[in-house]
Copies of this chain bind each other. A is one copy, B any other.
Amino acid sequence: MIKKHIYFFGNGKADGHGKMKDLLGGKGAGLAEMSRLRAPVPSGFTITTEVCKIFYEKHRHLPKTISAEIDRNLDKLEATAGKRLGDLENPLLLSVRSGSKFSMPGMMDTILNLGLNDETVEGLARVTNNPRFAYDCYRRFIAMFGNVVLEMGKEVFESALQEKKREKGIQQDLEMDADFLSRLVDDFKQIVQKTKGEPFPQDPYDQLRLAIQAVFLSWNNPRAQFYRKQNDIPENIGTAVNVQMMVFGNRGSNSATGVGFTRNPATGEREFYGEYLANAQGEDVVAGIRTPKPIRELAQERPEIYRELRRITDRLEKHYKDVQDFEFTIEEGKLYMLQTRVGKRTARATVKIAVDMVKERLIAKNEAILRLSPQQMDQFLHPVIDPSAKRSVIAKGYPASPGAAVGKIIFDADRAVDLAEKGEKVLLVRRETNPDDIHGMNAAQGVLTARGGATSHAAVVARQMGKPCVVGCEALHVEEEKGIVQVSGKQFREGDVLTLDGGTGEVMEGRLPLISPQVVGDLKTIMAWVDQVRRLGIRTNADTPHDAALARDFGAEGIGLCRTEHMFFAEERLPIMQKMILAKDRSEREKHLTELLPMQREDFKGIFLAMEGCPVTIRLLDPPLHEFLPKRGPLMVEISEMKHRGAPASEIQEKERLLARVEELHEFNPMLGLRGCRLGILFPEISRMQAQAIFEAACELARKKKKVHPEIMIPLVGLPGELASQKQIIDEIAKEVQTRYKTKILYKVGTMIEVPRAALVADQIAEIAEFFSFGTNDLTQMTFAFSRDDTVAVIKHYQKNHLLEKDPFATLDISGVGQLIEMAVRKGRGKKRNLKIGICGEHGGDPATVEFCHRMGLDYVSCSPYRVPIARLAAAHAVLQRRRH
């Protein structure tokens, strides 16, 4: 059997249908489907993507059998249209367009008005009784054909047009009459003759053959290749070619063209939405030269056509079960549908339309869930810049935490707190942030740093706080000491106002208006459906009762990571912490720890209360101790200056002692140094204090009939013995405290899996651990040997050069780090079948990572409060998408 290479459509019938995108391309499949739905589509035929492949296989040549098949379909098209190509009386004009499986807007070529030549243009003038129209079509065709098929520059035609207009003193295109255009056609033809050395092809069949070949060739033009690379579109799928009868909305007052949506794409309201222009072409609507009318006016002007349009588009919406974005043309009173596709919409509209369509029984709840993307969900959770505002962008960094913020720039955390307390809105601007800046970040509207990446300190803390944040904005030259920041040749001082967009990474001069999208009732409805579908539990990373409560409102079902180190940076605690670190021996250390104990206990009580009834995973002290001490360089300078100004010897000595300890604790690579469980093993008194605070807090609440479920997590375990030794301490303290309070607490002791070795020996660790939680930030750092603070520029460069597709600190590296996770899950559950396993790295809120966690059979993901709804949605998507496959 001979393979079919051409698919005809028109007159309420079609050889193909809407699911044949592989073969017909998106546009061809859509045209076929619309024809089958008896929408008035201009007839035509689609040359399949297979032909494109054959074209390249045969060294850019079409076999005769296919040419013959094109001829047969052209005959059929002429019969349907009642016109013939090249006919001198009533010539058929054609459009020739590309159309691949995946949309590649503007990347490939299109030719309109094909079929015109020196003779048919006269016929067209006669049959339309509109010579101006005919010559206008012809000059456009020559220019388009010259550019696309003959590979001439667009600008040669454009400049010839401009010169002629200047010569005749013409300002507006509308002033160009038939005579003018006819002479322009002559000029254009001469340009072709001169440039190509041969006349513009007059034979419409030649024109068609050349146009089809040009579309195939455009598949491999450099910009199409680049687009495919950028968008992960395979190289070998080829494009189809759609040859279709031309229709014209510019043949007089009885003609028009328009675009529309079956529902409001901004609000989601069920209203027919769109606009049209009488006596115009599609490009006029887009160009914005004339102001189009709202589509409801069509109901008055042309009620019968309006009714037909509504009937057709309703049918399309019901058929496609989604909002349609359509294009139409009215040619001398006859309606033609040129295109229909799923309409893009705002997040708000997405939710309303999805919920409405469920109510209308058009789609199922699961489909409604899939309609809402996690990226859109993000829009609901942060203020954004009014889209109508003009942006004067001065720099662009990494969009670290979504939402927009406006405020006076401040370079110092304390100063930010002072001003915020006075009611000022401020932005904290720094080279980079560190734990000392947390209070300043909290007081600020948003955070902007010159250094750092997706998981730099600023980014992580800002996301946690739900603060808009832009990091790694390398164009900024921040001089914190001088209180100035220089960027793009401008200089801003403390108090100058900037606006940040944490969703795009843009930094703008001045104060832009913000709007807060509301969480409308429909969102709540859809999230309830989401929770019925998902299997993964969703927890949050929260260090304070405030964050815990916030996350709970967002739907968190527990805390997956409560870091305890931030608690020690509070103003009244840091000095005690420092004394503890500087202590000469264990007994002195224990003395200072005893001072910290009641404070920690209160911290935990607050968090347990905010999460009452839910599990709370508390991680014991993790960072290197020198993070709590002053920095080395500045301390050296301070001592040098004290000496110069002749400060008392005793003061200098004290500073020198401090410096000596800082030197002693200094590490070349603190990430790989004395931190995590190593602290609790070398200084067991720290773990004992923390365990005591946890269990005393739990017991005090349990006595008041509050339900508390502590899960104590040991960081940075790489050896089974590390976990065992810390678990022993915790179990001892737990027993002692429970006996003392005569209360029973159900608790678990588990471990982070964040060191590659832990994944490799997960079977041994599972013998001791009661749960695993993947610390994917550190696991990514160690697996790649990427310090998240130091490799921002490297990762950017790698992404630009396609060495890395995605930032592995934003989306989990499934092919590398993912292997370790898979191994740990397999080995861990192999040893302990019901081992509870979660993830608490920054990746926990990333949809692709959530999907992976679902697939790996994890019990929960944990993420910052503001990402909880996104994680819930992504978890439901993971279930539904797996069902589809």
Contacts and interface: CB of A to CB of B under 8 A. Distances in A.
A781 B672 contact: yes
A173 B756 CA distance: 66
A502 interface: no
A190 interface: no
Interface in A760-810: 760-761, 778, 781-787, 789-791, 793-794, 797-798, 801-804
B757 A784 contact: yes
A791 B670 contact: no
Interface in A662-719: 667-674, 676, 678, 681-682, 716, 718-719
Given A641-B640, A716-B785, A793 B674 contact: yes
B719 A804 contact: yes
A596 to B, nearest CB: 23
Nearest to A663: B431
A785 B787 contact: no
Contacts of A674: 790-791, 793-794
Interface in A716-732: 716, 718-719, 721-722, 725
A633 interface: yes
A594 interface: no
B816 A678 contact: no
B760 A819 contact: yes
A787 B682 CA distance: 16
Contact of A783 (B671, B760, B801): B760
A800 to B, nearest CB: 11
A670 B718 contact: no
Interface residues of A, number: 57
A14 to B, nearest CB: 44
Nearest to A791: B673
A632 interface: yes
Contact of A670 (B669, B783, B815): B669
Contacts of A669: 669-672, 787, 789-790
B667 A817 contact: no
A588 to B, nearest CB: 19
Interface string A454-466: 0000000000000
Given A633-B633, A641-B640, A722-B803, A668 B716 contact: no
A682 B794 contact: yes
A667 B760 contact: no
A482 interface: no
A742 interface: no
Given A682-B793, A782-B782, A794-B682, A787 B757 contact: no
A755 B781 contact: no
B671 A761 contact: no
B640 A725 contact: no
A637 interface: yes
A718 B791 contact: no
A784 B641 CA distance: 41
A104 interface: no
A722 B816 CA distance: 15
A820 interface: yes
A783 B785 CA distance: 10
Contacts of A757: 783-785, 813, 816-817
A784 B721 contact: no
A740 interface: no
A636 interface: yes
Given A637-B640, A783-B755, A816 B718 contact: yes
A644 interface: yes
Which of A760, A791, A813, A819 has most B Cβ within 10 Å?
A: A760
A82 interface: no
A634 interface: yes
Contacts of A670: 668-669, 787, 790
Contacts of A784: 718, 755, 757
Contacts of A787: 667-673
A389 B783 CA distance: 50
Contacts of A637: 636-637, 640
A797 B783 CA distance: 26
A338 B791 CA distance: 70
A509 to B, nearest CB: 26
6 smallest CB-CB distances across A and B, nearest first, come from A673-B790, A672-B787, A721-B803, A669-B787, A757-B816, A667-B790
Interface of A: 632-634, 636-637, 640-641, 644, 667-674, 676, 678, 681-682, 716, 718-719, 721-722, 725, 754-757, 760-761, 778, 781-787, 789-791, 793-794, 797-798, 801-804, 813, 815-817, 819-820
22 contacts: A634-B636, A640-B641, A641-B644, A669-B669, A669-B787, A669-B789, A670-B790, A671-B672, A672-B781, A672-B782, A672-B785, A673-B794, A681-B798, A681-B801, A719-B804, A755-B783, A755-B784, A756-B783, A757-B783, A760-B819, A778-B785, A782-B783
